């Protein structure tokens, strides 16, 4: 009898522990489920109308190897960005994912884009004190609160508004971890620390910076909006003002008119859900008609996937479909490419080999297992010939038998995380005659890279980085399905 009585407290304690554990599991599962499917903030997954466009330019940053074996760069994108800033008198909005001087383990010196952009914005603000400048960026640039950004501090000291995107309002791409983070880590915030090395550059940061990073989500947009004295102009790109990325290959589209206002509308949504004031540009909206037949459409988040699938599935036998992509892993896109090949569409896919990341070596996932799958389906694949830099463009073009072209470009990699309303992304679609200058320039850009024109080496055959092993294929599929990945 005494033994029975002595066992009762231990028995109750075990039951209480199991009950608490069960409740905790239910809470974590429920929290994970909710943050995967919760309503999006208003204005996310934006698809603007097709807008008539007059002043449109295709721009590119090129890195290549010449016959003498030396690497060269030829850059256009941020030179155009700085010209836009210099021409602004009333309004500038910059939304850039990576805005820092981190270089990782790179030993070479890169162009100091973060300093150049900071200096250009401050200089223009000093020239025109009434100029309204808005900078939006990702919390990664402060290591999620663990390391202050000297660039953002300089901007704010000059009277320029800096908004770090509230990523908690977005859906979770890595719910197995993010539910735990939201419940046990997020409530305690973050601050400067010295416990661990900065994973992206010099200095040290707190453990909570690493724990926030494992959520694998971002405001991945890359764009600028500025007045040119009479109306808004805009530029959407795949390039970051990031020193370690300054040698990357990238593309951009510059345009003005009503589509620039659509872009501003999509950015106003980010300011709103990040609890920042939304400015009203004091610039007249000019409705222009174009005789060149070109249209520009602004799309964000999952609208990019829908537009990409429409382009691929709409390609008919004999049409040309070309792609240059830093990351390609989304299963719906890959299936659509294989269907297009079966229909007789002429397909060419140029991929980054996924081997370089700021001085670190990568394992080729996801592009190498995806390339193996595409080649098995009869699709021609080539690799960018990279030497430390990345083939960072996100570009797709369809040329039809009717001599009409559609070109899609911007920040969005064709991956689950980039396409499924998890990251913030911005792309633009340019439509018109294949002979129109910006579409022809886009086509020429791909042709020179595919065919290594002008004695410049941009790409190599598929065999150079072919990887047909089973384990990378398994790893890619697991990472894509679960969200436990950096792509």
Whole-number pLDDT of residue 109: 65
Per residue in 249-265, pLDDT tens?
A: 999 999 999 999 999 99
Which of 238, 273, 308 is at the close of a domain? 273
**Is 286 a member of any domain?**
no
pLDDT digits (tens, 9 = 90+) for 320-345: 999 999 999 999 999 999 999 999 99
Domain count along the chain = 2
Q: Do 196 and 325 have their domain in common?
A: no
Please tell me whether residues 150 and 216 are part of one structural domain.
yes
CA 360 to the chain's CA centroid:
20
Question: Among positive and negative, which fits the CA dihedral 256, 260, 261, 264?
Answer: negative
Interval 226-233 mean pLDDT: 93
Are 358 and 265 within one domain?
Answer: no
In terms of residue numbers, what domain contains 175?
54-273
Mean pLDDT of 104-126: 89
Domain assignment of residue 48, yes or no: no
Q: What angle do CA 8, 13, 15 make, to 5 degrees?
A: 95
Give a yes or no: residue 256 inside a domain. Answer: yes
Write out the DSSP string of 405-466. EEEEEES--BSHHHHTTSSB-EEEEEEEETTSHHHHHHHHHHHHHHHTGGGEE-EEEGGGT-
Mean pLDDT score across all residues of the chain: 94
pLDDT tens by residue, 360-411: 888 899 999 999 999 999 999 999 999 999 999 999 999 998 999 999 999 9
Within-domain flag for 98: yes
Claim to verify: residue 303 and residue 243 sit in the same structural domain: no
d(CA 439, CA 185): 48
134, pLDDT greater than 80: yes
Taking residues 138-160, what's their average pLDDT? 97
Per residue in 1-30, pLDDT tens? 444 444 566 667 778 888 888 999 999 999
Both 382 and 430 in a single domain? yes
Indicate the residue among 273, 304, 334 that finishes a domain. Answer: 273
My answer on whether 239 and 309 are in the same domain is no
Among 134-138, 198-202, 250-254, 301-305, which stretch is predicted with the lowest mean pLDDT? 198-202
d(C-alpha 197, C-alpha 191), whole Å: 15
Local confidence band at 68 (pLDDT 50, 70, 90 cut-offs): confident
Which of residues 210, 243, 273 is at a domain's end?
273
How far CA 384 is from CA of 142, 146, 249, 330, 361, in Å, comes to 31, 35, 10, 20, 16
Q: Within this chain, do residues 328 and 455 fall inside the same structural domain, yes or no?
A: yes
- The yes-or-no verdict on residue 92 having pLDDT over 60 is yes
Beta-strand runs (E) in 232-291: 232-237, 250-256
Residue 311: per-residue pLDDT = 98
In terms of domains, do 248 and 301 share one? no
Running DSSP on this structure, what letter comes out for residue 172? P
88: which 2 tokens? 């602004």
- Look at residue 30 and tell me if it is in a domain: no
In whole angstroms, what is the distance from residue 97 CA to residue 424 CA? 10
Q: Would you place residue 290 in the very low, low, confident or very high pLDDT band (cuts 50, 70, 90)?
A: low
310 occurs within a structural domain: yes
SS3 category, 474: helix
DSSP-based three-state secondary structure for 38? coil
Residue 293 or residue 333, greater confidence: 333
- In this prediction, residue 89 has a pLDDT band, given cuts at 50, 70 and 90, of very high
More confident residue, 75 or 282: 75
pTM of the complete model:
0.95
Residue 106's pLDDT is 67
**Where residue 288 falls among pLDDT bands split at 50, 70, 90?**
low
- Say yes or no: 208 and 115 in one domain: yes
For the beta carbon of residue 279, count every other beta carbon within 10 angstroms: 16
Question: Are residue 307 and residue 425 in the same domain, yes or no?
Answer: yes
pLDDT for 2 equals 45
Average pLDDT over residues 409-422: 97
Asked whether residue 257 falls in the same domain as residue 307, the answer is no
Give 116 or 201, the one with higher predicted confidence: 116
User: Are 273 and 166 spatial neighbours (Cβ–Cβ below 8 Å)?
Assistant: yes
Task: Give domain status of residue 183, yes or no.
Answer: yes
CA 20 remoteness from chain centre: 41
Q: Which residues contact 461 (CB under 8 A, 6 or more apart)?
A: 382, 383
Q: What is the CATH number of the domain that holds 241?
A: 3.30.870.10
**Percent of the chain whose pLDDT exceeds 70:** 96
Both 213 and 330 in one domain: the answer is: no
If one compares 103 and 295, the residue with the highest pLDDT of the two is: 295
84-102 average pLDDT score: 97
Q: Distance between CA 368 and CA 370 in Å, rounded?
A: 5
Average pLDDT over residues 315-322: 97
User: What percent of the chain shows pLDDT beyond 90?
Assistant: 83
Is 290 within the bounds of a domain? no
Over 70: is that where the pLDDT of 236 sits?
yes
């Amino acid at each position: 009898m005494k033994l029975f009585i002595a066992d009762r407290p231990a028995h109750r304690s075990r039951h209480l522990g199991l009950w608490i554990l069960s409740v905790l599991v239910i809470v974590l599962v429920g929290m994970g489920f909710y943050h995967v499917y919760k309503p999006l903030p208003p204005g996310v997954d934006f698809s603007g109308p097709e807008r008539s466009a007059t002043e449109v330019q295709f721009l590119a940053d090129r890195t290549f190897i010449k016959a003498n074996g030396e690497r060269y760069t030829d850059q256009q994108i941020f030179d155009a960005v700085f010209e836009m800033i210099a021409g602004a008198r009333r309004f500038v909005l910059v939304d850039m994912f990576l805005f820092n001087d981190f270089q990782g383990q790179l030993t070479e010196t890169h162009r100091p884009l973060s300093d150049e952009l900071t200096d250009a914005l401050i200089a223009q603000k000093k020239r025109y004190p009434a100029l309204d400048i808005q900078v939006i960026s990702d919390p990664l640039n402060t290591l999620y609160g663990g390391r202050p950004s000297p660039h953002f501090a300089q901007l704010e000291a000059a009277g320029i508004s800096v908004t770090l995107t509230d990523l908690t309002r977005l859906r979770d791409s890595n719910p197995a971890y993010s539910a735990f983070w939201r419940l046990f880590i997020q409530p305690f915030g973050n601050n400067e620390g010295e416990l661990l090395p900065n994973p992206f550059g010099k200095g040290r940061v707190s453990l909570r910076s690493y724990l926030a990073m494992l959520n694998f989500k971002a405001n991945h947009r890359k764009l600028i909006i500025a007045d040119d004295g009479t109306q808004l102009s805009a530029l959407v790109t795949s390039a970051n003002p990031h020193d370690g990325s300054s040698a990357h290959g990238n593309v951009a589209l510059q345009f003005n008119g009503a589509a620039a206002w659509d872009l501003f509308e999509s950015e106003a949504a980010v300011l709103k859900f990040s609890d920042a004031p939304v400015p009203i540009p004091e610039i007249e909206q000019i409705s222009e008609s174009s005789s060149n037949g070109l249209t520009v459409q602004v799309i964000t988040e999952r609208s990019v996937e829908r537009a990409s699938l429409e382009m691929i599935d709409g390609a008919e036998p004999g049409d040309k479909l070309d792609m240059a992509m830093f990351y390609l892993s989304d299963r719906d896109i890959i299936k659509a490419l294989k269907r297009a090949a079966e229909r007789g569409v002429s397909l060419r896919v140029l991929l980054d080999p996924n081997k370089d990341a700021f001085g670190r070596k990568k394992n080729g996932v996801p592009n190498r297992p995806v390339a193996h799958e595409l080649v098995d389906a009869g699709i021609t694949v080539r690799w960018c010939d990279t030497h430390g830099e990345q083939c960072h463009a996100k570009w797709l073009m369809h040329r039809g038998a009717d001599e009409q072209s559609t070109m899609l470009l911007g920040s969005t990699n064709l991956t689950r995380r980039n396409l499924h309303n998890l990251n913030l992304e911005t792309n633009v679609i340019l439509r018109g005659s294949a002979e129109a200058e910006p579409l022809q320039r886009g086509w020429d850009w791909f042709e020179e890279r595919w065919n290594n024109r002008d004695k410049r080496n941009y790409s190599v055959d598929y065999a150079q980085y072919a990887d047909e092993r089973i384990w990378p294929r398994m790893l890619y599929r697991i990472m894509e399905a679960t969200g436990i990945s950096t792509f």
